[in-house]
Amino acid sequence: MNEDKESPELSQNKVVCPNCEEDVFLPAKVEGGSCFPCPKCSYLIPPVPASATAPKKTFQKAAAFVLNEMLGRVGVFFVIFGALLLVTYSCQSRVRGGFPAWGTDKPAEVINPFDASLPRSEHPHPWAPEQFDLSKESFRVHVPANYDGSQPFGVLVFLNAGDEMSLPAEWAPVMEEKRLIFVAPQRIGNDQDIDRRTGLSLIAILKAMETYRIDPKRVFTSGMSGGARVSTRLTFCHPELIRGNIPICGVEFYEPVPRIEATNSDLEYGTWLRNLVPSLVAMAKQSVRFALITGETDFRRGNIRDIYNCGYIKEGFRARLFDIPGKGHELCSADVLKSAIDFVDGVE
């Protein structure tokens, strides 16, 4: 049988008789010509325009073509739109607050877990004022999953260079392993008054000690860039309370040090602690451990190394420098943070 021969159904056109409503197949040769009598009722069926009797397959092909074109264009649009969103998020996460593009999994946090009552330290310091309306302040707190209150944990209060800060996802396992509660006061970035930054961070420590079961020997401060400098300032103001300081890409000392490796023109860098009471210096030297973190491409590396070598080491402080190859002016990795915590914890 010849497979190319057209079947009778395909060579005819199906219509409905207006009189008897029966299906009638019109021969193709009458398209656009004279009327054709209905075989059932002899009613003369008007001629059918050729455009109305085009094979269904032609319409189906056209519809499929249009649909594919539409889906293709929509797909391309969403791919481009998604890529733009990804790039925007990555750039914002790298720039905001000075910390890098960490993973997208965000650790569980509690926002403002503290009540509005204002705590008081036993030894107030004018550089760390304690007058705040806590109903208007914000704190982000990460409590590790293994904390249940049966055993005391340490606390790590972090001061960022920007006004916002959350626990980086890569640090969350470190908090759990090292049994530390992470607290980040908000709106204490570099554009804020230094006394506000110092004072609100002190309040964060005191409120954490009120709210959770905290080991008083494991109260630590940390910070990034300008926030690191303020964290050191707070530590020297309250060495009776703070036992470890982990400044990242920034640090302070209570007196000027020689410029040996520093190559920038900031001659006043690291001098926020001038005129510190000698008794606080002596207490810090005795009870606080300092873990300074910088890196090979950190633009503050020279300043930090000078302060470490000509300040902390020369004056006999318990301090260690973590100078990381390839690291820039950014937060440290989880492994470096873990090593720094071990040092301030006294784990040699």
Cα separation of 341 and 156, whole Å? 10
Residues 111-144 have pLDDT tens digits of: 888 988 989 898 889 889 888 999 999 999 999 9
Query: Does residue 83 fall inside a structural domain?
Result: yes
For residues 46-73, give the mean pLDDT. Answer: 53
**Which residues have CB under 8 Å from 276's CB, separation 6+?**
236, 254
The answer as to whether 1 is a domain residue is no
CA dihedral 209, 212, 217, 222 (to 10 degrees): -70
Decide if 135 is inside a domain. Answer: yes
pLDDT tens digits, residue range 289-314?
Answer: 999 999 999 999 999 999 999 999 99
Residues 170 and 42 in one domain: no
Region 209-234: mean pLDDT is 97
What range defines the domain where residue 36 resides? 12-54
In a domain, 81, yes or no: yes
Q: What is the pTM of this model?
A: 0.71
Cα Rg, the chain, nearest whole Å: 37
Q: Indicate whether 232 and 185 sit together in one domain.
A: yes
pLDDT band at 2 (very low <50, low <70, confident <90, very high): very low
Average pLDDT over residues 242-270: 93
Please tell me the total count of domains within the chain: 3
**Mean pLDDT taken over the chain:** 82
The whole-number pLDDT of residue 32 equals: 46
Q: Are 119 and 133 members of one domain?
A: yes
